[in-house]
Amino acid sequence: MSKFGVLVMGPAGAGKSTFSSALIQHCQTTKRPCYYVNLDPAAEDFDFEPDIDIKDLITLSDVMEEMSLGPNGGLIYCFEFLLENLDFLTEPLDQVTDEYLIIFDMPGQIELYTHVPILPNLVKHLMRGSLNINMCAAYLLESTFVVDKPKFFAGTLSAMSAMLMLEMPHINILSKMDLIKGTVARKDLKRFLDPDPRLLEDPRKPGDEEDEEEARARRDPDPASKENVMGGESFKRLNRAVGQLIDDFSMVSFLELDVQDEESVGAILSYIDDAIQYHEAQEPKEPNDAVDTDIGYD
Ligand SMILES: Nc1nc2c(ncn2[C@@H]2O[C@H](COP(=O)(O)OP(=O)(O)OP(=O)(O)O)[C@@H](O)[C@H]2O)c(=O)[nH]1
Ligand SMILES: [Mg+2]
């Protein structure tokens, strides 16, 4: 029997916990069982009480105090400790059946998603070990940041780094769409939802309109005359190479999330379900055949 889960990831404050709560709320509304796992050893306030909370194993504040570590080193220590004590996750998750959506709410320290091999080992345990969880990564980036091109590319590269490191189905989400107001901001954002890799060479700032001549120049750039985000010919070549790299992986597309909007949350959940093949695994049920158990949210 498979299990099904989503790993909610992304930089600090991107809206991971809010999205996790919105998913739980949506599951409750649609009478679908879900199971909430908090893996942020510094998280304190929850809209929904976690079914598993890493803080019952280890807390960031204790580690910082006892090991004299800062918040980032402390977090890495917490995850190393979790990897040495995987029964803490395995035992309760073993009881979770295939009807449940298991939501893993991750911390926001970017180190976790870039170079340390902790997350790949955790994911390997969850997906390929006895738990056999079909998982999808949901990588959140804040929409208000990404309309700024350098931040957009930095965010995209961090998402790509996580994707390459974890080797699992992956969707990118632009969170906090309710903060993108007005037609100019929306038009700006459209350029980033399915972006052109040459976007870095586009000198416009958020809100600027592009006329035909500018668009032509961008499509057919004259390296001698164009100004660049960072400036300088070698930076132009670097920008172009980064844009091309992202394009070659064809992974730069984003789903829009407005957590206040039930339909938006439902639409993203259906992408997650497709990625983990949730519906294919569900037995046809009688309408009254509700999941009868005392774990998780249903
Ligand atoms: N307007 C708006 N605010 C949001 C949205 N999602 C989250 N926020 C706010 O953004 C802040 C951070 O949200 P969290 O959900 O805690 O973000 P997080 O990614 O879990 O943060 P860390 O776990 O600290 O990395 C909070 O003040 C939220 O209220 C959203 O969709 N719209
Ligand atoms: Mg959080």
Enumerate the domain spans of the chain: 3-195+252-281, 197-249
206/189 Cα distance (integer angstroms): 9
79/59 Cα distance (integer angstroms): 10
- Tokens for 3? 């299990």
- Tokens for 180? 């993108």
Q: CB burial class (10 A; 0-12, 13-18, 19+) of residue 130? A: exposed
Reported pTM: 0.85
235/221 Cα distance (integer angstroms): 14
Q: Name the closest-CA residue to atom 14, ligand 1.
A: 15
263/292 Cα distance (integer angstroms): 27
Ligand 1 site, residue 13, Cβ cutoff 6 A: yes
pLDDT in tens, the chain (298 residues): 789 999 999 999 999 999 999 999 999 999 999 999 999 999 999 999 999 999 999 999 999 999 999 999 999 999 999 999 999 999 999 999 999 999 999 999 888 887 788 999 999 999 988 999 999 999 999 988 777 777 877 888 888 888 888 989 999 999 998 888 766 667 767 766 666 656 656 555 555 555 565 556 555 555 444 444 556 777 777 777 877 777 776 656 789 999 999 999 999 999 999 999 999 888 776 655 555 566 777 7
Please choose from 7, 18, 21, 37 the residue to mutate so as to test ligand 1's pocket, defined by most ligand atoms within 8 A of CB. Answer: 18
Asked if ipTM goes beyond 0.95, one says yes
CATH class of 3-195+252-281: alpha beta
Closest ligand 1 atom to 260 CA: 31
